[in-house]
Structure 1
Amino acid sequence: MIEFRNVSYSYRKNGGKNIDDLNFTIHKGEFVLITGRSGSGKTTVSKCINGLIPYFHEGIMAGDVFVGGENTKGLALYEIGEKVGSVFQDPRSQFFTTNTTDEVAFGCQNLGMERGEILQRITDAFCSLKIGGLRDRSIFELSSGEKQKIAIASCRAMNSCVYVLDEPSANLDIESIDQLGKILQVLKHSGTTIVVIEHRLYYLRELVDRILYMDGGKITGTYAAADIEYLNSEKLAAMGLRHFNLADIQYCAKRVAKNRNIALKVANLEFAYKHRKSIGGTGEILRNVGFTAWGGEIIGLTGKNGAGKTTLAKVLAGLLKEKSGSIAFNDQRLRAKDRLRKTYFVMQDSDYQLFSDSVKRELELGNEQLEGLPEKCHKVLGELDLLPYEESHPAALSRGQKQRLTIGNGIICGADVIFYDEPTSGLDAENMKKVVKLLTEQARKGKLVFIISHDYEFLLNICSRILHLQDGIIANDFELEGINEPRLKKLLFT
């Protein structure tokens, strides 16, 4: 079904090869996981399959890619699109309409299908994936998981024989990841050929037929499904991979003494979006939120998509103005614009926070007043494995590398309170541990660190405390120690 023959590709004419002399075959109906460290060439492989390379991205390509027995060099991009359905990490980037039903119909309409056939394909797509409740909905009202389902339904309506999914779980909560797994199970049973690029592995354990492990632009390991049980924690760590079995993940965060000189006190905090329905249809996102936090703490903000985690962080950071209640730093109540000067917010989507023309200057931007800035930038880039790219444009980085760069900004800044929104969504296990080390060092320096995350493995590696949000309130507030590990697992997975 898919065959690579001596395929190499470089995004830059004078740069190194992103993938190097790849030769492999994926058979019809096979479910293949492609994994490896960030920047190893996984996404580049997916773009060669769906035709974005060489038809969209400029660069130098050698070798041939065959899909369904046809060389993609002899096919127009729309012809490849008829065969290969793509689900991007952020589905928003591939939507063309504002209505879910229109979006599922879009590809069929572009192929000039008859109206009756299009309507039947729409119905079949929603029914087969069991997402009928998402018909005729506004795209803007969907959660990340629901957007992912619509992207898959759009491929289903096209009767794509190959699905390529690039880190589909990156922006999803645990419940949505479980639902994604069930949809992939449906597709697998229908005989579809499925290729998944992924760092989070546990939800794919019972689905994969084969694993291709990439390192340095090459496939350096091939594993059958039966080999997974032999990939123990030590082997996975050496490969820079996450765990396939959640039971193997243990609490190992290092405790940091609290810094009583930095205190954040929140009382009776409420917030509502003016034009968004939420809790009880009132528009309220946050209700009667109150807690006290200290420097040296690393606090995980957890909860389902839509629970109010990011909204709470943005209000605390001064990016949103509270409806009522108080937020005080060291007993001084601060307005939103004053909080902006004391905090730093690292966004989930790194592209929204990259402005400069080089990796090095990205870290320097806005931090010119810091003493010893060149040395600090050099140190952080080295610790995040970005030093080889310091003169590269941020747009040339992989998603995981961009993510690490924005995290680097949070580390460099002089703020007392730092918020990280899903900082590991594009990171492999090796880089996750590097981020754990750097953020723990921030806490040791007395900073107060908040982490918005659904990443169970990451939370157990870094957090000293959990604030679990449910329907706009803090439903659970507890110290995260070994004894409370089952409590966190229950909150996330049930």
Structure 2
Amino acid sequence: MISIKDVNFCYKGSQEAGLHDFSLDIGEGEAVLLCGASGCGKTTILRLINGLIPHYYKGELEGSISVNGRNVPESELYELASVVGTVFQNPRSQFFSVDTDGEINFGNENLGLAPKEILRRKKEVVSELDLEPLLGKSLFELSGGEKQKIACAGVSALMPDIMLLDEPSSNLDWKAIGELKEVIKCWKAKGKTIVISEHRLWYVKDIVDRVIFMKDGRIEHQWNKEEFGSLTAQELCSYGLRPTSVEEKYIKEFGDGIFSADDKTENDSIERYENSITLKDMFFTYDIPKYFFKKKKLNAADSADYTLAIPELELPRGKVIGLIGRNGAGKTTFLRCICGLEKDCTLKITADGDTLSGKRIMKKCYMVMQDVNHQLFTDSVRAEVMLSMDDEDKEKADSIIGDLGLSGYEETHPMALSGGQKQRVAIASALAANSEILLFDEPTSGLDRAHMTAVAEMLAEIAKDNRVVIVSTHDPELISLCCDYTLCIENGRLKYLRKCQ
């Protein structure tokens, strides 16, 4: 089904990333997992299979790639679309419509299929993936997990024989990952050939037939399902891989039981901290109500229409606070309001006896966004890091770059890096900004175990410098590595702030 022979590839503008003397055969109906450190070549393999290399991503390519009998370099992308479907890490990057129905139909409409056939395929996919509740909705109203399901549906409706998934779970909560797993199992039951690039291994370990471990653009190890399942936690760690099992307490904390019955409905950590900042009057809505100009007088009791309503919250300095909650709970909105990106929020911040609002808040905060492509502006990694400094310091910038495992990429264009490497560049910029309040929205999505550990150590270290560090995450490993507190948001309301056990 898929044959890659003696491939050497180097991206234009980069001498490091790519593949070296790479060969791989994948049989019809086989499910294969690609794993390994960020930048090892996983995404490059997927781009070879779907034709984005060499038709979109340019570089020096040697060797042969064939998919279902087609020579990929000599085939047009539209010819491959009916054979290979791809679900990307960020579903928004592959959306073309504004509503769910239009997105599911878009690919088939673009291929010029008859209206009856388009509707037949849509009906079949909606039934298979249980999408009836999502029909007729705006894509902008969906949670991350719901967007990923629609992305899967749009690809599935094309009915390709091969399904590629590039870090599909990186921005999903545990419930959404469970739903994604069911989608993949459905595809496998239909005999699809599936290739998944992932760092989160626990949800795919029972689905895949073969696991391929990549290192520096080459295949380092291969295991079948049974062999991979028998690897111990220590062995996985020696390969730099995340665990394949998750402790029960984290399943309760982050899965369907994230809000268990015995959880209190109010902040159960009302203690006063000797060294802290206080958030007050945090009211915000994406739909401005008629009483908009009276927002500042509202409290939690009469603010049911608000997207986010937190009357008061005290946050300790010198600690790492893990921000948790399901997709769509309001975590990103909470972070955007703190750093001043949502200008209509009524928030005030009290720190060191001074009360800040408006633009003064922005000077104290720095946020690393979930989609880091929105905040990469320069033509080199070093320039990107120095851009956030008040006084440019090349030596300090290179030190931060090295600490995050990016040595050797100082002069590389950020957009030529892998998703995980881009994430680390954004984190490096945040560290260089030296702000008092540092906010991170899913900073370890797309990161391997080693770099997750490095980020955790860095977060703990910068918090010691009397900063408030808040990190939104769905990764229980990150919580266990560095967080002192967990702050839970549910439906835009504070569920609790408590010390980690």
Cα separation, 2, equivalents of 1:288 and 1:359:
37
Determine if contact 1:289/1:474 at 8 Å carries over to the other structure. no
For residue 398 of structure 2, the aligned residue among 350, 355, 378 is: 378
Structure 2 match to 1:342: 364
Measured in 1, the distance between the counterparts of 2:346 and 2:12 equals: 52
2:310, 2:372 → 1: CA distance? 31
CA distances 1:351-374 after superposition (whole Å, capped 9, x unpaired): 11111111111111131426xx22
Aligned equivalent of 1:454: 474
Distance 2:449 2:339 in 1: 29
Counterparts in 2 of 1:12 and 1:321: CA distance versus 1, 3 Å: closer
Amino acid at match of 1:273: Y
Query: Residues 82-481 of structure 1 correspond to what in structure 2 (within 5 A)?
Result: 82-247=82-247, 262-274=275-287, 283-321=305-343, 323-324=345-346, 326-369=348-391, 373-481=393-501
For residues 44 and 288 of structure 2, the distance between their equivalents in structure 1, rounded to whole angstroms, comes to 40
C-alpha distance in 2, partners of 1:36/1:219? 10
CA distance in 2, matches of 1:310, 1:387: 30
Query: Which amino acid is the alignment partner of residue 129 of structure 2?
Result: L
Quote the Cα distance in structure 1 between the aligned partners of 2:13 and 2:466. 46
The two structures have a TM-score, normalised by structure 2, of 0.89
Q: 2:266 maps to what in 1?
A: none
Residue 487 of structure 1: aligned partner: none
Give the conservation status (yes or no) of the 8 Å contact 1:13–1:60: no
* 1:108 counterpart SS class: helix
Provide Cα deviations, 1:441-480, integer angstroms capped at 9, x if missing partner.
1012221110011111111111000111111211122100
Deviation track 1:259-318 (CA, whole Å, cap 9, x = no partner) reads: 978521123532212269xx9996412223422122211001110112111111222222
Asked if the contact 1:320/1:336 (under 8 Å) is kept, the reply is no
The Cα offsets for residues 23-53 of structure 1, whole Å up to 9 and x where unpaired, read as: 1211111111101000001000000000101
Which one is further off, 137-146 or 14-23? Answer: 14-23
Shift of the alpha carbon at 1:20? 1.1
SS in 2 for 1:405: helix
The answer to whether the 8 A contact 2:367-2:440 is kept is yes
| Deviation by residue 1:155-213 (Cα, 9 ceiling, x = unmatched) | 22111110001000111112111111111111111111111111111111221111011
- Letter in structure 1 aligned against 2:335: A
1:401 is displaced (CA, Å) by 0.7
Opposite residue 375 of structure 1, the aligned amino acid is E
Q: TM-score, normalised by structure 1?
A: 0.91
Structure 2 residue identity aligned to 1:274: D
Query: For residues 60-116 of structure 1, what are the alpha-carbon distances to aligned partners after superposition, in whole Å with 9 as ceiling and x for unaligned?
Result: 111111211332234221111110001111111111121221221121122221111
Letter in 2 for 1:472: G
The CA RMSD measured in Å over matched residues stands at: 2.3
> Is 2:307–2:491's contact at 8 Å kept on the other side of the alignment?
yes
Question: What are the equivalent positions in structure 2 for 1:5-16 lying under 5 Å apart?
Answer: 5-12=5-12, 15-16=15-16
**Paired residues, what number?**
471
Cα distance change, pair 34–289 in 1 and its aligned pair in 2 (3 A): farther
Identity among equivalent positions (%) equals: 37
Distance 1:32 1:310, change over 3 A: same
Q: Mark the CA change 1:476 to 1:281 in structure 2 (over 3 Å): closer, same or farther.
A: closer
Q: Aligned partner of 2:184: which letter? A: L
- Provide the rounded CA distance (Å) in 1 between the counterparts of 2:129 and 2:303: 28
Q: Which runs of 5+ in 1 are unaligned?
A: 251-258, 482-494
Instruction: Rate the CA distance shift 1:385–1:227 in 2: closer, same or farther, 3 A.
Output: same
CA displacement at 1:16 relative to structure 2: 4.1
**Do the aligned partners of residues 150 and 376 (structure 1) sit closer, same or farther apart at CA in structure 2, a change above 3 Å counting?**
same
* CA distance 1:411–1:262, change in 2 (3 Å): farther
1:327 to partner: Cα distance: 2.6
Given the superposition, is the C-alpha separation of residues 432 and 306 from structure 1 closer, same or farther in structure 2, using an over 3 Å criterion?
A: same
Pair 1:184–1:232, CA change in 2 (3 A): same
Distance 2:445 2:170 in 1: 5
Contact preservation (8 Å) 1:18, 1:41: yes
Q: Which residue of structure 2 lines up, in the alignment, with residue 485 of structure 1?
A: none
Amino acid across the alignment from 1:466: T
Q: In 1, Cα distance between the equivalents of 2:335 and 2:417? A: 27
2:244 counterpart letter in structure 1: F
Question: 2-side partners of 1:275 and 1:127: how far apart?
Answer: 37
Is contact 2:17–2:41 with CA below 8 Å preserved after alignment? Answer: no
Question: Unaligned regions of 5+ residues in structure 2, if any?
Answer: 251-271, 290-299
Q: String of CA shifts for 1:385-413, please: whole Å, max 9, x gaps.
A: 11201011111111111100110111111
Distance 1:479 1:48 in 2: 46
Secondary structure of the corresponding residue to residue 287 of structure 2: coil
Partner of 2:268: none
Secondary structure of the corresponding residue to residue 46 of structure 1: helix
Moved over 6 A (4+): none
